[in-house]
């Protein structure tokens, strides 16, 4: 099982458990692919957007160009005309009109959850009714960590929305973190994980030697080049990179802002930073003899 390297607008990831594995676990429970839709905005979404047989694969208007180009090339692909939450709401209505039963949606880039938005009330009603009366059930499938997703649940008041939802009571583990390796109950915040399906020696290598060497090389070469620093405070990402604690992945967050307050992640410098971090991850994987694949377009490039 190779480690998958990818760069999304928010982060650069090295992961063993990929998002297609999470979708296919539901298929193994008896849900046909023809009843499942998927939406994502980053290159780490490629594995699940390209599963053969999906009913719909979609990207919001704010998706990475490579992802939108990919979706446009798929026979089941849909490029949405709206960004983020509005794009997701449009996508949800499309899936409902086609009588699909389940949706897998990335989180960041698909939901405007960190900012106050008038659409939060629409999302609240959507979560209230998902899985009921032919409304598709939504799994949020994200590379982010447990703590980040607890904040997501609180910000969108998901627990309040689903507390009386019978479909959610049957399937409460609707937040699939770390690409689905960590599942979070939207009712209790309880977790269950799929670490047991991963090679323990390979996972240990990823979370020890690989992560340690990647961080060391970033500190020695990449951070000085971009005039960035490390931070252990996820709220302080002004010209700083944050490395969230994860069980099954290594993630390097892209700084949110420059020192002058302008948007780092949407800048040309951010793309150069992503490419530099990916290059470091590739070099470290090769030095440790770790098989890897680089998710950059329709196919995984070895």
CB-based burial, 267-300: b 16+ in 10 Å, e otherwise: eeebeebbebbbebbeebbeeeebebbbbeeeeb
Q: What is the pLDDT of residues 89-133, one digit of tens each?
A: 999 999 999 999 999 999 999 998 877 666 889 999 999 999 999
Per DSSP, what are the bridge partners of residue 55?
A: none
In CATH terms, is domain 17-191 a member of 3.40.50? Answer: yes
pTM, two decimal places = 0.89
Tokens 């950059």 sit on residue: 296
Hunting for tokens 């939504």 — which residue is that? 138
Buried b (16+ CB within 10 A) or exposed e, 100-119: bbbbbbbbbbbbbbeeebee
| CA separation, residue 264 to residues 7, 85, 145, 156, 279 (Å) | 15, 21, 22, 25, 20
Q: Which residues contact 257 (CB under 8 A, 6 or more apart)?
A: 237, 238, 239, 263, 264
Give mean pLDDT in consecutive 10-residue pieces for the chain, a chain of 302 residues. 89 94 93 97 92 97 92 94 95 97 95 79 96 97 93 95 97 96 96 84 96 98 97 93 94 96 94 96 98 68 32
Closest residue by Cα to residue 244 from 122, 149, 115: 149
User: Structural domain boundaries of the chain?
Assistant: 17-191, 200-301
pLDDT at 245: 92
């Amino acid at each position: 099982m190779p480690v998958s390297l990818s760069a999304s607008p928010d982060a650069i990831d090295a992961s063993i458990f990929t998002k297609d594995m999470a979708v296919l676990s539901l298929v193994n429970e008896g849900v046909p692919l023809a009843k499942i839709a998927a939406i994502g905005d980053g290159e780490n979404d490629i594995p699940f957007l390209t599963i053969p047989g999906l009913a719909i694969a979609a990207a919001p208007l704010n998706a990475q160009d490579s992802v939108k180009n990919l979706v446009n090339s798929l026979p089941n692909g849909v490029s949405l005309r709206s960004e983020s939450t509005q794009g997701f709401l449009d996508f949800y209505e499309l899936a409902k009109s086609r009588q699909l039963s389940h949706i897998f949606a990335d989180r960041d880039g698909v939901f405007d959850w960190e900012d106050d938005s008038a659409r939060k009330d629409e999302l609240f009603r959507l979560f209230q009714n998902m899985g009921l009366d032919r409304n598709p059930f939504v799994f949020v499938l994200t590379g982010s960590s447990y703590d980040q997703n607890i904040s997501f649940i609180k910000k969108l008041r998901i627990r309040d929305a689903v507390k009386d939802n019978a479909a959610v009571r049957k399937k409460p583990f609707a937040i699939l973190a770390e690409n689905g390796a960590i599942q979070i109950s939207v009712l209790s915040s309880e977790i269950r994980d799929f670490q047991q399906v991963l090679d323990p020696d390979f996972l240990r290598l990823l979370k020890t030697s690989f992560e340690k060497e990647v961080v060391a090389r970033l500190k020695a070469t990449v951070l000085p080049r971009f005039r960035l620093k490390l931070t252990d405070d996820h709220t302080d990402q002004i010209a700083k990179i944050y490395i969230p604690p994860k069980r099954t992945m290594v993630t390097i967050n892209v700084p949110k802002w420059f020192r002058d307050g302008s948007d780092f992640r949407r800048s040309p410098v951010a793309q150069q930073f992503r490419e530099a971090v990916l290059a470091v991850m590739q070099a470290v994987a090769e030095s440790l003899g770790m098989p890897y694949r680089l998710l950059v377009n329709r196919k995984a490039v070895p």
